[in-house]
Amino acid sequence: MTAPETLTPTKQKLLDAALQLMLAKGFPATTLDEICTAAGVTKGSFFHYFADKEEIGAAVLDHFVAGRMQAVQEATFHKLSDPLKRVYGYIDFMIKMSRDSSAMPSCLLGNFAQDLSDTHPRLLAQCGRHFDQWAQMMKRDLDQAKAKYAPKVAFDTLSLADHCITVLEGALILAKAREDRKVIEKQMRHLKSYLQSLFEGDS
């Protein structure tokens, strides 16, 4: 992961405002006027940093992913020496995040991928790259856990990483549709049980 960009206070305000609006309303429904008003900056200041809405959308997506990655890297489970405990720790970390009532149970990466698939190929490609990086991050721990705990069990760790992401993103969609964030924890617990069956089935 590359080092985060050093942001000016104004650019930080614009990114934070755009992130909250796009999480709540989606990219298509968020206007530049709303972003500027929420950030407390003028349109002129906006265009000093971004050429248009798509450009700030791309920056916000990177900003969102970098923030999530930093949260994971700073979490206690990430420092565990045992790879399987890190895998389970990641699931528990997602459960803990889902219980935070101050945080919106939504993923900008998943939202963008759904909302912009037919209209913004640049942003869709950016989503694909972030999903690939996410899967590769999970794959590293899954590879080590498989080598240590399930070397004879036949499963593809990259495909399993994609499955984990799919369950989480699907849980977020269900939680939004049902207006019930508890859906996320329930699905994460199902996922953890499935992972335990793979890695500890013969124990």
| pLDDT at residue 6 tops 80 | no
- pLDDT the model gives residue 103: 79
Tell me the C-alpha distance between 175 and 163, whole Å: 18
What integer best gives the mean pLDDT of the chain?
Answer: 93
- Specify the pLDDT at position 102: 80
> Is a pLDDT exceeding 80 seen at residue 97?
yes
Quick check: 195 pLDDT over 80? yes
**2 pLDDT more than 50:** no
Mean pLDDT of all residues in 25-40? 96
Task: Report the candidate in 24, 85, 93, 27 with the shortest Cα–Cα distance to residue 56.
Answer: 27
DSSP 3: P
pTM of the shown model: 0.91
Rounded to an integer, the average pLDDT of 50-74 is: 95
104-128 confidence digits (pLDDT tens): 788 999 999 999 999 999 999 999 9
Higher-scoring residue by pLDDT: 135, 101: 135
**Number of helices followed by number of strands (H, E) in the chain:** 9, 0
pLDDT tens for residues 125-166?
A: 999 999 999 999 999 999 999 999 999 999 999 999 999 999
Question: Three-class SS string for 85-150?
Answer: HHHHHHHHHHHHHHCCCCCCCCCHHHHHHHHCCCCCHHHHHHHHHHHHHHHHHHHHHHHHHHHHHC
